[in-house]
Chain A
Amino acid sequence: MGQNMLEVRHLCASFFTQKGEVKAVNDVSFEVPRGRIVGIVGESGCGKSMTVRSVMRLLKYPGKIVSGEVMLDGRDLMRLSGREMAAVRGAEVSMIFQDPMTSLNPVMKAGKQVSEAVRIHQHVSSEEAKRRTLEIFEAVGIPEPARRYDSYPHQLSGGLRQRVMIAMAMICRPKLLIADEPTTALDVTVEAQILRIMKNLCGTGTSVLIISHNLGVIAQICDYVYVMYAGRIVEQADTFTLFEHPMHPYTCGLLNAVASLRLGREKLDTIPGVVPNLLHLPEGCSFSLRCEKCSGICASKMPDLMKTGEGHMVRCHLSGKGGES
């Protein structure tokens, strides 16, 4: 068994629209080591969600996976049939969504929805499924699990619903949990609790891949971070290095655009411009149009991911000279 729970190699996924192919995920490779939490950050529309949906093989029309390998614990998910993939979903890899308000079936009791997963994958009796559900409710910190089992989603608060979602994703003890902006719809107090639960889960052997545009969330729980921009990974490093020594101008921009009480700045920095239209990407580096340090080569040639330190890779011609903020 390899050291990585998930290895994604050269993943390309596109939307095939009437205006042409939109390369939303472009040659993305990353890995999630066993028992670790890995984060992917980036602006809206940079391909984060598309990447993880590709891992689940749940792209919606007209999105399609073009090429690439997704190795989950040594098995290539891309080669599985639809039926085999359905057996993997929920049992080996599971996912939670951004908005717990809409991710639960409003006419199904919370407990039933959670137990559905075990009943499908492990064919247990309904009593056993209920027992397991109450157990996992306890584990994700749902107070009065017996009563919550019979609650409908609308009777639960946002934090409780997200816990139910996590319970649903975790009840079969999957090898990998994908969290697509798990705390974006929650307030900060609940966010902290949910993150703690996810961190605890990680202690029980499940690897976690978390997507966020909230750098605070990433900083709190991730071991390793990938930064995505316009469908490509532009920088990857362990969390400490990324926050202390960001190399890519985009990463620097992101970090500078976060409000901080300590620095006491009057005005927030922003990254000028908008994310480029993926139909008309610039010829060179996709960030070149917005980059302050853009020079001749940037506009003509797409840089490769280059190693700049232990486990630190940057997609920038100027890396090394790119400078820290």
Chain B
Amino acid sequence: MGKNKRKDLIPENIPENIPENDPSGSGMTDNISLRSQIGEEEKFSDLLRRMARENKLAVISAVVILLFVLAAVFAPVLTPYKETEMDLLHRLSPPSAAHPLGTDEGGRDILTRVLYGSRISLLVGVVPTLLSMLLGTVLGLAAGFLGGKTDAVIMRLADIMLGFPSMLLAMLIMYTLGDGLMNVFLTLALVNWASVARIVRAEALQIKESEYVEAARVIGVARYKIILRHILPNAVPTLIVLFTLNVPSSILTESSLSFLGLGIQVPDASWGLMVNTGRQYLYNAPWLSFVPSAAIMLVVLSFNFLGDGLRDVLDPYQKNQ
């Protein structure tokens, strides 16, 4: 009961000399904290600059990803060959001037196939991740914010998805739907939404209990607006990190599916598929598997590092420190 407050309790002595709001600031304490906290809004470019300063690895990763994107876009310009072009006279030839990274069992240029393969692998990394995040975020927010039966139904569904070995599930769906890029997208989205939903739900539960959500309810903000304007924006840092972590996992799953013969089919090029076909020639032509593996590793690592960097930079409490 206010034991540490030195206050006189006799009503006649109500202090009348409460300091007026001086225009320069607002009292002593405010002035001090004002000075340290005058910070203009941080622009996105500042944010990137800060990341560049604090986390070199993340920037390098971003550059690597950008290079792969450029390679995917400009593949036809960068190489004289076509990814499906066979040259049976030069099967399994080691790296040479004509084929900088060698050729595969059909005499196809490996560099060309890796470049074209990055189109599929990057698409497969990004598109299904976006799809699964969309699905997972909507369901996770609904479960977390609405609670009750909605929560129970969505989460049991997610449990079932998570309880099933994901590779087996992906294989089952792929087998049912058949080959093709679209089906790979769909499969990966269906396999990955549950973990996103779980994380988003946890986030929503936590944000829902925060005082600013309560304050929003106090001023009469409707429920859907609370979800869209107060809960979702506060979950964005988590979502971005989730995105960068799920992209590599999608790439890897696609690689595994292709490796198992369920994803992209020869003669199209995908990194996982290339690793698979190279497996048979591992002893006499190791470059067949090695080059696409290195590409997978490079992209996956880059996304992970970038995710870490973004997480550090996007935390609103760490701005201006």
B220 touches A91 (CB 8 A): yes
**Interface residue B15 (Cβ < 8 Å from any Cβ of A):** yes
A105 touches B2 (CB 8 A): no
Binds B, one of A30-38, A258-266, A282-290: A258-266
Residues of chain B in range 226-267 having any CB-CB distance to chain A below 8 Å: 229-230, 233-234, 236
B11 touches A244 (CB 8 A): yes
Q: Which residue of A lies closest to B219 (CB)?
A: A90
B316 touches A215 (CB 8 A): no
Binds B, one of A183-191, A228-236, A302-310: A183-191
B221 touches A116 (CB 8 A): yes
Q: Which residue of B lies closest to A172 (CB)?
A: B219
The contact string, 1 if C-beta is below 8 Å from chain B, for chain A 161-172, is 001010011001
What residues of A have a CB within 8 angstroms of the CB of B33 in the complex?
157-158
A102 touches B211 (CB 8 A): yes
What is the distance, in angstroms, from B149's C-beta to the closest C-beta of chain A? 14
**Interface residue B45 (Cβ < 8 Å from any Cβ of A):** no
Name the residue in A109, A142, A260 with the highest tally of chain B Cβ atoms < 10 Å from its Cβ: A260
**Interface residue A219 (Cβ < 8 Å from any Cβ of B):** yes
User: Interface size of B by Cβ–Cβ distance < 8 Å?
Assistant: 53
The contact string, 1 if C-beta is below 8 Å from chain B, for chain A 214-248, is 11100110000000000000000001100110000
B27 touches A104 (CB 8 A): no
Measured CA separation A216–B9 after assembly (Å): 6
B220 touches A87 (CB 8 A): yes
**Interface residue B268 (Cβ < 8 Å from any Cβ of A):** no
With A102-B210, A105-B216, A169-B219 in contact, is A216–B2 under 8 Å at CB?
yes
Q: Point out the residue from A109, A142, A219, A257 that lies within 8 Å of B1, measured CB to CB.
A: A257
A103 touches B316 (CB 8 A): no
Measured CA separation A155–B34 after assembly (Å): 8
**Interface residue A12 (Cβ < 8 Å from any Cβ of B):** no
**Interface residue A86 (Cβ < 8 Å from any Cβ of B):** yes
A154 touches B320 (CB 8 A): yes
Q: Point out the residue from A108, A143, A196 that lies within 8 Å of B233, measured CB to CB.
A: A108
**Interface residue B160 (Cβ < 8 Å from any Cβ of A):** no
What is the distance, in angstroms, from B123's C-beta to the closest C-beta of chain A? 31
Interface range on chain A: under 10, 10 to 19, 20 to 34, or 35 or more?
35 or more
Q: Point out the residue from A109, A190, A261, A268 that lies within 8 Å of B29, measured CB to CB.
A: A190
**Interface residue A192 (Cβ < 8 Å from any Cβ of B):** yes
Q: Which residue of B lies closest to A195 (CB)?
A: B18
**Interface residue A292 (Cβ < 8 Å from any Cβ of B):** no
The contact string, 1 if C-beta is below 8 Å from chain B, for chain A 33-60, is 0000000000100000000000010100
What residues of A have a CB within 8 angstroms of the CB of B222 in the complex?
86, 120
**Interface residue B212 (Cβ < 8 Å from any Cβ of A):** yes
A56 touches B25 (CB 8 A): no
What residues of B have a CB within 8 angstroms of the CB of A89 in the complex?
217-220
Give me the 8 closest cross-chain CB pairs, A-B, nearest first.
A216-B7, A90-B219, A90-B220, A141-B21, A157-B33, A89-B220, A117-B219, A192-B18
Q: Which residues of A contact B (CB under 8 A)?
A: 43, 56, 58, 86-91, 94-95, 97, 99, 102-109, 113, 116-117, 120-121, 141-143, 150-152, 154-160, 163, 165, 168-169, 172, 187-190, 192-193, 195-196, 213-216, 219-220, 239-240, 243-244, 254-255, 257-262, 268
Given contacts A160-B30, A215-B1, 8 further A-B contacts (CB under 8 A): A58-B218, A91-B220, A117-B219, A152-B319, A189-B29, A215-B7, A216-B2, A258-B1
